[in-house]
Structure 1
């Protein structure tokens, strides 16, 4: 502290602390009703802060001295960084003795708390602190250390540098790979060598096995951003739209770990539930009625039917009158429940694109599948569907769609399949051809394992293309 030039004062005001709850009082022996005296060190502010002013109004750099003598009442202002600034002031009157010694300024705390005497010997002028928060203001004015966060709520990277986080306990770090036996390979020769050498020699998979594993990886790739909705559309009946929905759902459910559901939203008596062997006896109408009572997946599983591939089916009403009453609002209610429990929601939307549920179906769609037969009229209707989508606000969905050329009749067609594919590739993201399969042509339940290898492979390729499209869109719902 320094005295003001050519000035002496008989009276000097000492700063009085309004609050003492943040002062470090560890080690101070306090007896109830007594007082204790400590030295309070006020913080030194940076040169850029003009917190103190001379009597003539000029600024005094705080680096030269934190505080100056004064003969007026001391006012301490704490200014918060919010829109509303609050100002508290404290006035203390103390006396100097004859030898100009500084008399302790007692700061009296409430009864039962620590009473502190601050031996500062200074008077604070009007100090205005532009601070970012109340905590910072308290720290700067009172010199108190802001309380640290509880240890259990602190980030691990704020602790000592030699402490590791749980993320570092990885399998690559902990498992001794030299002691882990390789998986038994596929193929006759691979298994023979693997068994003869006690598992020490593992031959590489052949090309067919590698292709199958690669396809598995494409189908099972993770999806982010909530449930994905994939409607299956067709302008013409009899092209195999429901069969394609079933094949796609089975291929997805068979390879993925998450849940997949196919909803029959056909307003005119859909047959999706008849394409699997199991039936729950419940329909989409039952889910609409019980939607308020569905509090867990067990409630939903009592309404849907599950295939052996783990594909869940939500059937439509058998009564056409009830089916026609299934509205876009009902579809939204069902879709909201399905989105809560499933990662992929397929919708067999029925024939046509102007029925009551189509608007809701297209609003939620992340990707479209358009099924076309391998005839001229069927191909034209599919192409016209794309034109309708482009002219009605769904151009992005049309460009990212997948056209499925389904072969629903046996024998060779006079229509060149290569020309059909070439046409649709100019309009959509991908084209997949499903070959004829007698097991599907019967119209009965489809067993995925009983399909021909070509049909099963085409269904899996379709599933991989759909997942790739969903991952590319990055839609978050």
Structure 2
């Protein structure tokens, strides 16, 4: 009882009314238990936003809260505008002693955006097949130029395979470093364990694109077939991020069945002429008729070698036709360096051609799948 009385005195619940000073009305209205001890007031209600707790993903470790300021790069360094890379903006920046920086222009900003798209993260190996029902439309040239664009921008390993059973010319687009062909690679496949082993069978150009040549031996009677392509692709996808396949003209040669089964996307090449456009459309018709509708929807059409004044052909109608059938359409202008048919050096291309190839690479990269690891940490 002594303890209880002490509590009561501390609370001053039973003071003499005559001598007690007026006390403010208590701000709690809770009932009093029988023994006279007041109940604690109810805790304040939790804020509404605490009702929605966002759990941290299991793959991301919990970061303990800290009273110290953030030491990230963006917090510590002042954000500096990127200097212009071309045009009058660059000259102004240089002549002013790098004091006047008006930033990139719209053209350069678009180019940087395309390059960023080409550099999209890629999980595993992505396989691109370049084909056309008609020969002579620049299919091999597009394969080499696109592969070189990817290799020069991304910096990872890119290889182009010549799957033309009839004397393919893809190996002529880069400096020849080895006489080895895909047949030699398959013959020695059991002894290949690392990238340096594969590198002995490919030739590499200035863009860092590697090319695996087709078998041009006239004494070989057996064509490069579907089983050969499967074995080749199984070997290459262990060491390369991108594999481009230069298919032969036509769609009925023996390797095409495997090419279409393995491809992640297709590039259908057309020329700017009437017969070239009709052949490219017939290619899509054949694919639709043989159960490859999904590949057609994911494909990219390239209208190649278009001259500034292309005669009577309405190029906009050609683009409109293929844009209704394919995922995207890219027009690559005529370029004298590509017309030569020799080794391709990207630095020798006209600016418009180079821009078109970067745009084509960005369109292809737009189809890259996002792997589980990329999605988790993005």
**Both proteins in one fold, TM over 0.5:** yes
Preserved CA contact (<8 Å) 2:122 2:370 = no
Q: CA deviation at 1:280?
A: 2.2
Cα distance in 2 between the residues matched to 1:281 and 1:411:
41
Q: CA deviation at 1:171?
A: 4.2
One of 226, 239, 254 as aligned partner of 1:356? 254
1:170/1:293 Cα in 2 relative to 1: closer, same or farther (>3 Å)?
farther
Counterpart of 1:333 in 2: which secondary structure?
helix
2:323 paired with 1:425: yes
More helix by share: 2
One of 190, 193, 213 as aligned partner of 1:292? 190
Counterpart of 1:238 in 2: which secondary structure?
coil
Correspondence for 2:45: none
1:156/1:345 Cα in 2 relative to 1: closer, same or farther (>3 Å)?
closer
Correspondence for 2:243: 345
2:231 paired with 1:333: yes
Cα distance in 2 between the residues matched to 1:376 and 1:309:
33
One of 105, 108, 113 as aligned partner of 1:214? 113
Correspondence for 2:101: 202
Counterpart of 2:206 in 1: which secondary structure?
coil
1:377/1:473 Cα in 2 relative to 1: closer, same or farther (>3 Å)?
farther
Counterpart of 2:220 in 1: which secondary structure?
helix
1:185/1:157 Cα in 2 relative to 1: closer, same or farther (>3 Å)?
closer
Correspondence for 1:381: 279
Matches within 5 A, 1:388-427: 388-407=286-305, 412-427=310-325
Cα distance in 1 between the residues matched to 2:237 and 2:95:
50
Q: TM-score, normalised by structure 2?
A: 0.75
Correspondence for 2:48: none
2:77 paired with 1:177: yes
Matches within 5 A, 1:182-193: 184-187=83-86, 190=89
Which residues of structure 1 form unaligned runs of 5+?
1-154
1:266/1:257 Cα in 2 relative to 1: closer, same or farther (>3 Å)?
same
Preserved CA contact (<8 Å) 1:268 1:320 = no
Spell out, residue by residue over 1:424-450, the C-alpha distance to the aligned partner (whole angstroms, 9 max, x if none).
Answer: 111111111111111111111111110
Counterpart of 1:310 in 2: which secondary structure?
coil
Preserved CA contact (<8 Å) 1:374 1:406 = yes
Preserved CA contact (<8 Å) 2:82 2:103 = no
Aligned residue-pair number: 313
Preserved CA contact (<8 Å) 2:272 2:310 = no
Correspondence for 2:357: 459
1:421/1:193 Cα in 2 relative to 1: closer, same or farther (>3 Å)?
closer
Greater RCO, CA 8 A, separation 6+? 2
Cα distance in 2 between the residues matched to 1:341 and 1:240:
28
2:345 paired with 1:447: yes
Matches within 5 A, 1:193-342: 202-224=101-123, 226-320=124-218, 322=220, 324-342=222-240
1:243/1:304 Cα in 2 relative to 1: closer, same or farther (>3 Å)?
same
Preserved CA contact (<8 Å) 1:267 1:320 = no
Matches within 5 A, 1:111-122: none
1:454/1:281 Cα in 2 relative to 1: closer, same or farther (>3 Å)?
same
Q: CA deviation at 1:360?
A: 0.7
Q: CA deviation at 1:470?
A: 2.6
Spell out, residue by residue over 1:160-218, the C-alpha distance to the aligned partner (whole angstroms, 9 max, x if none).
Answer: 9679xxxx985446xx203x876654246655665677756533112222122112111
Cα distance in 2 between the residues matched to 1:389 and 1:438:
32
Cα distance in 1 between the residues matched to 2:162 and 2:100:
50
Correspondence for 2:28: none
Q: CA deviation at 1:374?
A: 2.1
Deviation larger for 319-328 or 293-302: 319-328
Q: CA deviation at 1:339?
A: 0.7
Q: TM-score, normalised by structure 1?
A: 0.60
Q: CA deviation at 1:472?
A: 7.7
Cα distance in 2 between the residues matched to 1:156 and 1:469:
27
Counterpart of 1:368 in 2: which secondary structure?
strand
Matches within 5 A, 1:159-174: 171-172=73-74
Preserved CA contact (<8 Å) 2:143 2:244 = yes
Cα distance in 2 between the residues matched to 1:157 and 1:376:
60
Matches within 5 A, 1:26-45: none
Cα distance in 2 between the residues matched to 1:387 and 1:206:
42
1:210/1:330 Cα in 2 relative to 1: closer, same or farther (>3 Å)?
same
Cα distance in 1 between the residues matched to 2:152 and 2:363:
15
Which residues of structure 2 form unaligned runs of 5+?
1-58
Preserved CA contact (<8 Å) 1:277 1:446 = no
CA RMSD of aligned residues (A): 3.0
